[in-house]
Amino acid sequence: MKITDVSSTFISIPHLGSIQDATIRHPTRGRSQCFVHIHTDEGLEGLGVCDGGRAAQALINDSLKPILVGQDPLFIEKRWDDMFWRLRGVGRKGLAFAAISAVDTALWDLKAKYFNVPLYQLLGPYTDSVPIYGSGGWTHFSIDELVAEQMSYVERGMKSVKMKVGVDFGKSEREDIERLAAVRDAVGADVEILIDANNGYYAKQAIRMAREFEPYRVGWFEEPVLADDIEGLAAIARAIDIPVATGEHEYSKFGFRELIARGGADIVQPDIGRVGGVTEWMKVAHLAHAFNLPVAPHAFQVIHLHVTCATPNLRIVEYLGVSEEFDKLVYTEFPEPVDGMWSPYPDKPGLGLELDPDIVKKYSV
> Is the four-CA dihedral 240, 241, 247, 252 of positive or negative sign?
positive
Q: Which of 27, 34, 240, 301 is nearest to 139 (CA)?
A: 27
Which residue among 37, 159, 249, 298 is the active-site one?
Answer: 298
CA distance 249 to 226: 9
CA distance 221 to 265: 10
Task: Please say if 164 is a catalytic residue.
Answer: yes
The CB density around residue 58, as the number of other CB atoms within 10 Å, is 15
In the chain the first and final C-alpha atoms are separated, in Å, by: 31
CA distance 115 to 134: 33
Cβ–Cβ < 8 Å for 163, 150: yes
Task: Please say if 304 is a catalytic residue.
Answer: no
CA distance 299 to 271: 7
CA atoms within a 13 Å half-sphere pointing along the CA-CB vector of 214? 12
Which residue among 113, 164, 253, 306 is the active-site one?
Answer: 164
Catalytic residue annotation: 164, 298
